Structure 1
Amino acid sequence: MAAPTLDILGIGNAILDVQARAEEAFLVAQGMERGAMTLIDTARAQAIYEAMGPGVESSGGSAGNTCAVAAAMGARVGFLGKVAEDALGEVFAHDIQAAGVSFPTPKLKGGAPTARCLILVTPDGQRTMNTYLGACVEFGEADVDEAMVASAAVTYLEGYLFDPPQAQAAFRRAAAVAHQNGRQVSMTLSDPFCVGRHREAFRAFVARQTDILFANEAEIMSLYETDSFEDAVAAVRAEVKLAALTRSEKGSVVVSGDATHEVMAEPTRVVDSTGAGDAYAAGFLAALTSGHALPECGRWGSVAAAECISHFGARPQTDLKALLAR
């Protein structure tokens, strides 16, 4: 088997993130569910965008953020996701490539516009997301660059992309190609509401095609329909080779076979929780593909997540390599 030329290949929703600060009253006035990710249509996206305060725009989406953070930590990274042939699509492509991530997916012509996620961050750092998927939903099997999948040590799949049937088919194709080439498949559950919408399909994909699973406490408990984190840990241990489960300020739990590693959270001040789980996955996978032991992988994840939530925006603003060396 040839050595991988990529450490991580992310596949997910190619979304331009627009982040702005907001008070609780704004969420109430807009009828938003605090802390949730809500799918919206074109008209709703325009209305929220016009009502928001000044925002910061960057290439985003869950897997896109993971890829950018992993690249900042020294990993060799690629990303597959669908944008439109429009201005926002150009911004996305330029931004993610400038972050050191290869992005070869052909742009959609003549269809829906590039996706955007309108993120409102309240003073306590909680983020509420309103997502217009646009061109994202057109990602399908034909967009799976099989050569890139075959060349990547880990193909990392974003649960948010699981909604459209053609995306689920793309996931299954990518997993098949990865495994045929002796590579690993990783998946993040992304959101408890995603899990609730597609629990049966998620369960099947996790059990049959996932080697490395990322989830937070709420997501893993939703997947296995239990109110007990301990029961969820037991369930995932039986189905997946490796699971990294985040618990906010409680740190994370890394489960592998009979082994359990508890990893402390890095001390930080929460300014904006957007992208914390994405950054954790980036640090974990960057360490894993560099050959580090699982507790050290968890530490890399914690360092990346702590840096991410210490400022506004989902991209690192501090030298992550320097933070790891401390």
Structure 2
Amino acid sequence: MATHRFDVLGLGNAIVDVIAPVDDDFLIKAQLRKGAMQLVDEAQAQSLYDAMGATTIVSGGSAANTIAGLASFGGKGAFVGKVRADEAGHAFAHDIKAAGVHFSTPPASAGPATARCLVLVTPDGQRTMNTFLGACQNLTCDDIDADDVSASKILYLEGYLWDPPAAKKAFIEAARIAHDAGRRVALTLSDVFCVDRHQQEFLRLIREGVVDILFANESELHALYETADFDAALVALRQEKILAAVTRSEKGAIVVKGQETHEVPAAPIDKLIDTTGAGDLFAAGFLTGFTQGQALDRCARLGALAASEIIQHFGARPEIRLAQLAEQSDYLQML
């Protein structure tokens, strides 16, 4: 196996998040399903943006958030995602490089604008996302650097990539390269409605060995196995030849590997502000520990700690160094 240059390489949608607090009436008037992610076209995105109040603009994207979180822990991360050579695209590239992440995907000089996700946050911290994929849809196999993939301990893929056909092909090609190099492939299910769209295909990825590590939240797991019973979903998950980490909000997280189980409580917080990126940052902490060879329960606690930081402010990128947070955390000492 070649020497690795990166702990984790993330492949995902390069998105700029536009975040605004709203009340539930706003969602009802806009006919939006609370807590869901829906794809919108550019005209719909502009109309919704015009209706929003004051906004916070920050780089996002599920896998990009995870890799930025990994870098904040001190890990070596790389990211592949497509932007347009426009103002938002330049901002995304600047932000992810400033986070210490290797990012060299060439920007598109033509075609749709850089992707935007309009994130509407209600007072209970729930986020409703409306995503214009834009340039993301033009991610192709040509954007995959085989040397970078082969030199990464883990290839991390987001379920959202399964929507654009060209990106789906890039997803499969990158996974093939990773496995040929003896590396592991991780997948996050991303969103319950993403699972609804692609449930059978995601199960096939798991059962055909394309994916070695799975990240999901409780709702996504229910959707994957088409059951409202969490214990029944766990029984099904145990049958897969896979390592899986399932987040359960304030109930903490559970890690399953066959009959092996590790359950950890949620890390304490002062105030819930915005759940955007909680799952992304859980994966960041977990993968940080995993690539360092740490025990699975500690990996899960690192994930829970990162998630606790991100849900106490707007935006899905850490506001403090997660490595420093880990050093000072009493929560991690509870092991």
TM-score range, shorter chain: over 0.9
Instruction: Give 1:318 shift.
Output: 2.5
- Could you tell me which residue of structure 2 aligns to residue 145 of structure 1? 145
Q: Post-superposition shift, 1:207?
A: 1.8
Tell me the residue number matched to 2:333.
none
Residue 281 (structure 1) shift = 0.3
Q: Deviations over 1:263-289 (max 9, x none)?
A: 110111211101000000000001111
Residue 240 of structure 2 corresponds to 239
Amino acid paired to 2:96: I
- Secondary structure of 2:18's counterpart equals strand
Whether the 8 Å CA contact 2:285–2:304 is kept in 1: the answer is yes
Q: Calculate the TM-score normalised by the size of structure 1.
A: 0.97
Q: Which deviates more from structure 2 when the two are superposed, residues 129-138 or residues 23-32?
A: 23-32
Partner of 2:184: 184
| SS of match in other structure, 1:54 | coil
- Check the 8 A contact 2:240/2:258 in 1, yes or no: no
Of all paired residues, the percent bearing the same amino acid is 53
CA contact (8 A) 1:13 1:64 kept: yes
* CA contact 1:150–1:181 (8 Å) conserved in 2: yes
Contact kept? 1:212, 1:240, Cα under 8 Å:
no
Q: Does 1:289 align with 2:291?
A: yes
Q: For residues 105-131 of structure 1, what are the alpha-carbon distances to aligned partners after superposition, in whole Å with 9 as ceiling and x for unaligned?
A: 111121111100000111111111110
Q: What CA distance in whole angstroms lies between the structure 1 residues aligned with 2:61 and 2:312?
A: 19
Residues paired across the two proteins, number? 326
The more displaced of 100-109 and 183-192 is: 100-109
Alignment of 1:105-184 (within 5 A): 105-184=105-184
CA distance in 2, matches of 1:322, 1:87: 32
TM alignment of 1:1-326, pairs within 5 A? 1-208=1-208, 209-268=210-269, 269-325=271-327, 326=329
Over the aligned positions, Cα root-mean-square deviation in angstroms equals: 1.1
Distance, in Å, in 2 between the alignment partners of 1:133 and 1:281 is 22
**CA displacement 1:246-276 (0-9 Å, x = unmatched):** 0111101101132100011011121110100
Given that 2:178 and 2:184 are in contact with CA atoms closer than 8 Å, whether structure 1 keeps it comes out as yes
> Structure 1 CA distance, aligned partners of 2:131 and 2:17?
9
Could you say if the C-alpha distance between residues 191 and 290 of structure 1 is closer, same or farther in structure 2, counting changes exceeding 3 Å?
same
Tell me the TM-score normalised to structure 2 length.
Answer: 0.95
Taking the aligned partners of 1:181 and 1:231, their CA distance within structure 2 comes to 35
> 1-side partners of 2:14 and 2:43: how far apart?
20
Q: Which residue of 1 aligns with 2:332?
A: none
CA contact (8 A) 2:2 2:150 kept: no
Q: Residue type of the partner of 1:322?
A: Q
* SS of residue matched to 2:13: coil
CA–CA separation in structure 2 for the residues paired with 1:175 and 1:68:
21
SS at the partner of 1:239?
coil
**2: CA distance, partners of 1:61 / 1:240:** 28
Aligned 8 A contact 1:210 1:240 in 2: no
Cα distance in structure 2, aligned partners of 1:241 and 1:281: 16
Structure 2: tracts of 5 or more residues without a match = 330-335
Please tell me whether the aligned partners of residues 161 and 171 of structure 2 are also in contact (alpha carbons under 8 angstroms).
Answer: no
Q: Give the 3-state SS of the residue equivalent to 1:274 in structure 2.
A: coil
Residues 149-182 of structure 1, C-alpha deviation per residue, up to 9 Å, x if partnerless?
1000000000011112222211111111101111
Segments ≥4 residues shifted beyond 2 Å? none
Query: Is the partner of 1:147 in helix, strand or coil?
Result: helix
Question: Per-residue deviation at 1:241?
Answer: 2.4
Structure 1 position 53, deviation (Å): 1.5
How far is the alpha carbon of 1:199 from its aligned partner? 1.4
